[in-house]
Amino acid sequence: MLSYRQPGAILNDLEFTVPLDHAQPGGAKIELFAREVVAADRIASDLPWLLFLQGGPGFGALRPAGRESWLDRALQDYRVLLLDQRGTGRSSPANRQTLALHATAREQAEYLSHFRADSIVADAELIRREMTGGRPWSVLGQSFGGFCAVTYLSYAPEGLREAFITGGLPGLHTTPDDLYRATYPMVATKNLAHYERYPQDVARAKQVARHLAGNATLLPSGARFTVEAFQSLGQVLGSSTGSQELHYLLEDPFAGGELSDDFLYQAESRLSFAAAPLYAILHEACYAQGAPTDWAAQRLRAEFGEFDAAAALHGDDPLLFTGEMIYPWMLENDPVLRPLCAAADLLAQRPSWPRLYDAPRLRANDVPAAAAIYYDDMYVPLQYSAQTAATIRGLRAWVTNEYEHDGLRVSDGQVLDRLIAMVRGNA
- List CB contacts of 190: < 8 A, sequence separation 6 or more: 234, 237, 238, 243, 323, 378
pLDDT for 239: 97
Q: Is 69 exposed, middle or buried (0-12, 13-18, 19+ CB in 10 A)?
A: middle
Average pLDDT, the chain: 97
278/316 Cα distance (integer angstroms)? 38
DSSP 308: -
96/114 Cα distance (integer angstroms)? 17
Residue 250 has pLDDT above 90, yes or no: yes
pLDDT in tens, 222-232: 999 999 999 99
pLDDT in tens, 28-69: 999 999 999 999 999 988 999 999 999 999 999 999 999 989
pLDDT in tens, 314-328: 888 999 999 999 999
pLDDT for 311: 85
- Average pLDDT, integer, range 266-277: 96
379/404 Cα distance (integer angstroms)? 10
pLDDT in tens, 201-212: 999 999 999 999
Query: What is the percent of the chain where pLDDT is above 90?
Result: 96
